[in-house]
Amino acid sequence: MSLFIQRMFDGLAEGSIYALLALALVVVFRSTGQLNFAQGEIGTLCAFFASTFTLSGWPVWLAVLVAMVIGFVIAALVERVVVRPIEDRNPGAVIVALIGVFLAVNQLSAMFWGVDARSLPSLFPTDADAFIRIGGAAIRIERLGIIGVLIVLLVLLFLLFNYTKIGLAMRAVANNQESSNLVGIRVGNILILGWGLAGAIGALAALLLAPSAGLTGTLMLGPFLLASVAAVLGGLDSPVGAVVGGLLIGLLKAFLIGYVDFLSDMLFPVMLVVLLAVLLFRPAGLFGTEKVERV
Amino acid sequence: MSDSPNDDDVIDRAMTEEIADAGVAGPSAPVTEEGEVEHSGLPIRTPQYGGLHWLGRVLVFAIPLGYLLIRVFGVTGIAGDGWSNSGLGLLADALIIAIAVMGVNLITGYTGQLSIGHAAFFAIGAFTALILTQGKVSTPFFGEENLWDPGWTLPVAGVVCFVVGCLVGLPALRLSGIYLALTTLVFVEAVRSILKYEEFAGVTGGATGIKGDKYTPPEYVFDFFGIKLPTGLDGRGDLNQWMIYLSLGLLLLIMLMVSGLIRSRIGRAMVATRDNELAAEVMGVNLAVIKTVAFGLSGAITGVAGALFGLKLGLAEADIPLFGLFGAITFLVAMVVGGAAQIWGPMVGAVFYVFVNELARSVGENPSESIFSFAFDEGTKLDGLGGVIFGILLILFARFAPFGAVGTFRIIRSKLVQVIPKPPAGSLAARAMAAEDD
């Protein structure tokens, strides 16, 4: 039983990272209908910035905050400079541009920080005795902290979307850009804000993952893949779906590796089956809204 | 004054439309009928070309292009003249990737089903070729050792990938857009895991993959009852050269087949599916059949490319970058950069992708000797510079040529060369033109 609880919290903590990244993807998808391929790489770049800040003596929380701001700025710039000039044209071109950003940002970190692994201190205590006993299992504080960060962020996002004017404007733009424009919302600024917000959330995911996974240029490649699956599983236009999808995939991974020995290397085949099983019945994901077409 | 025109009219009109299509039409185009006949109800015929026409068209482009490639890149093998062996290898890679991109173009460009999953077919094709040439499974015809002749593995890879492609096409009946794209991306990773799975190591070689001999180019292109066409290559040193001939030939053949397919009933249905699924269905297109067949065919094309790649490398291993996410990205980018739904797009896009990537990499390795020498000190080495340059190039390309190289070329051409369609013979417009000519 204690092993089960242990694995559950491992899975939830890992799933929280995927949930954060999936949330970032969903925020972008809702505002512009694009999958931001560069989301994970922008996060990695921010983690490199944070590691430089902590090396020069900044406290960790300040480094994390500044890195998130950098993530906001980079993602906002990507929207304004790269995506918007081609937006109304070819969706294929937007994908290529975002893959270009993906490659460029990925290699930027190699250019300035080299290819060796770096370390990033954690926001939470990581000493050997930093754990809490729950039902006989020793849960590391860092794991609980990551889950806590996800919950706090969800509450903040809920407040932002439901109780502020900006949140209302963001929901309006996600719903219908033309009408939003007509009622006086500055759609361009809202899009920049949405992408920037996603950039900051994606950066947070990388900053939480880097201390335990080690900071290299490929830090977010695997998580990005899993997070995009999580977003699709939950429904690309649903923040709740992103969180549920992320946690589900984290749990699936932890239990698969923990309990089903012969499938421990077969995460992706299993995930393909799960994804197909869900999407065949709900083609827009668990919580996504299906597009209704008027004929 | 009949409602239905006689056969001669139709043939005449078809001929003049051929001429019109060749770009010489205009106000002075020959008008076949004038005077009394009033043919308001003439059927509008789109030009229908036969297979020979397309063979001719492809050859007209391919022969000069092939000659150019041979001259420019020194494929003739004159020592010290033209490109090094690694340059030839790059060209062979580019052509193989071009074939793979033809597959992606068929499903994403023409049928409108966004697939990032074609790296899986590429991997399956390569593994099929290596499994057969290395005798990992027992098969009839090829003796006790089951060692297949490399050439015969290509059609088998095509058939295997056609079957797998049809299976992958099934989810496409329900999913669309990014949902489908990400499902295919998971499919890539799933295939890689399965290829690496130790339980299947007897066939796929497990984590280490299958290592084989490199493809030995044959002495004769064909040996038909004593009529022999020698390749002029001797042994393994000319592998790259042989791969260039082989993949260029296959690429042209596949281009010919795809351009024919697109003009067939199935191809029209594919394009209709892309443009408006609902309308296509209402018009009687069987979406399930069309999507499944399109996925199967495109998988088969990419699978053949994968088999070529495996034979060239003499190795099939699940961790080869082109078999994973990197390959998926490469094929998609090459397709868009060349021009989606353009018959020449894949070739242009793949050559662009491979050579510009190589150029960016070489600049990144030695920036002080490149065109950016002003910005770097002698001997500077920057690890990621090549990738950054390539990424920025892609961003610029997407900004300024969103319809790809071939699409942009067409737009520019349409600005310079104006094609005025010939009005239906006997119509008011045609008579007005005829009157002007007089």
| CB contact at 8 A, B273 and B265 | no
Q: Would the CB atoms of A92 and B402 count as touching at under 8 Å?
A: yes
In this structure, is residue B379 part of a structural domain?
no
Which chain A residues are within 8 Å of B117, Cβ to Cβ?
A: none
Give A113-164 pLDDT, tens digit per residue.
887 888 888 888 877 777 888 777 888 888 899 999 999 999 999 999 999 9
Domain that holds residue A97: 13-217
Interface of A with B in 151-210 (CB under 8 A): none
Instruction: Supply the pLDDT for residue B80.
Output: 40
Chain A residues whose beta carbon lies within 8 Å of the beta carbon of residue B330: none
pLDDT-based confidence at A51, cuts 50/70/90? very high
| DSSP per-residue string spanning B59-76 | HHHHHHHHHHHHHHHTTT
**HEC-encoded secondary structure of B173-240:** HCCCHHHHHHHHHHHHHHHHHHHHCHHHHHHHCHHHCEECCCCCCCCEEEEECCEEEECCCCCHHHHH
Instruction: Quote the ipTM score.
Output: 0.90
- Would you say residue A279 lies in a domain? no
Query: B296-315 as b/e, with b when 16 or more CB fall inside 10 Å?
Result: bbbbbbbbbbbbbbbbbbbb
Whether B401 is covered by a domain: the verdict is no
Report if residue B17 sits inside a domain.
no
Asked if B382 reaches chain A (Cβ–Cβ under 8 Å), the answer is yes
The answer to whether position A294 is within a domain reads no
Smallest CA–CA distance from B393 into chain A, residue: A100
Contact flag A232-B179 (C-beta cutoff 8 Å): yes
CA distance B6 to B33: 13
Give the pLDDT confidence of A18-30 residue by residue, as tens digits.
999 999 999 999 8
pLDDT score at A176: 86
Residue B418 is assigned to a structural domain of this protein: no
Nearest residue on chain B to A101, alpha-carbon basis: B391
> What is the reported pLDDT for B126?
94
Tell me if B185 and A228 make a contact (CB, 8 A cut-off): yes
For chain B, what is the domain count?
A: 1
Cα–Cα distance, A116 to A259 (Å, whole number): 34
Check if B185 contacts A (Cβ < 8 Å).
Answer: yes
In angstroms, the first-to-last Cα distance of chain B is 25
Q: Which two tokens stand for residue B4?
A: 């239905």
Asked, for residue B122, whether it belongs to a domain, the answer is yes
Whether A247 is covered by a domain: the verdict is no
Task: Point out the residues of chain B with pLDDT beneath 70.
Answer: 1-86, 140-146, 214, 216-237, 367-382, 418-420, 437-438
Q: Give me the numbers of helices (H) and strands (E) for chain B, helices first please.
A: 16, 4
Beta B227-230 vs B220-224: how paired, if at all?
A: antiparallel
Strand (E) or helix (H) holding B46: none
Q: How far is A270 from chain B (nearest CA, A)?
A: 8
Cα–Cα distance, B241 to B66 (Å, whole number):
13
Of A63, A73, A75, A68, the residue nearest A204 (C-alpha) = A68
| Interface contact B398, partner A, CB < 8 A | yes
At residue B141, the pLDDT reads 67
- Closest by Cβ to B186, choosing from A99, A272, A284: A272
Identify whether B87 is part of a domain.
yes
Q: Please tell me which residue of chain B has the smallest CA distance to A89.
A: B402
Which of A94, A99, A236 lies nearest to residue B333, judging by beta carbons?
Answer: A99
Which of B108, B190, B333 is the closest to A268 by Cβ? B190
The total of other beta-carbon atoms located within 10 Å of residue B174's CB is 15
User: Taking the model in full, what pTM does it have?
Assistant: 0.82
User: In this structure, what is the dihedral angle of CA atoms B129, B133, B135, B139, given to the nearest 10 degrees?
Assistant: 70
Kindly state whether A107 is in contact with chain B, defined as any CB-CB distance less than 8 angstroms. Answer: yes
Domain membership of residue B364 (yes or no) is no
Confidence (pLDDT) at B200:
82
Give the total number of structural domains in chain A.
1
pLDDT, tens digit, 9 for 90 and up, residues A89-108: 678 889 999 999 999 999 88
Q: Which chain A residue is nearest to residue B206, measuring alpha carbons?
A: A265
- Asked whether residue A98 is domain-assigned, the answer is yes
Averaged pLDDT score across all residues of chain A: 89
Which residue in the set A103, A279, A284 is minimally distant from B183, CB to CB?
A279
Closest residue, chain B, to A288 (C-alpha): B179
Report the pLDDT averaged over residues A200-209.
95
How far is B87 from chain A, CA to nearest CA, in Å? 24
Q: Which of residues 256-275 of A touch B (CB under 8 A)?
A: 262, 265-269, 271-272, 275
Tokens read off for A289: 């809204």
The answer to whether A269 contacts B337, with C-beta atoms less than 8 Å apart, is no
Which residue in chain A has the smallest CA separation from B199? A262
Which ranges of chain A does DSSP label H, i.e. alpha helix?
A: 2-32, 39-55, 60-77, 91-113, 141-163, 165-175, 177-182, 187-213, 221-234, 239-259, 267-281
Q: Alpha carbon of A106 to those of A24, A96, A220, A229, B219: distances in Å?
A: 18, 15, 10, 21, 46
At residue A133, the 3 state secondary structure works out as: strand
How big is chain A, counted in residues?
295
Domain that holds residue B253: 51-339
* Nearest CA distance, B310 vs chain A (angstrom): 23
In angstroms, rounded to a whole number, what is the distance separating the alpha carbons of residues A104 and A94? 15
Residues above pLDDT 90, as percent of chain A? 54
DSSP state at residue A131: E
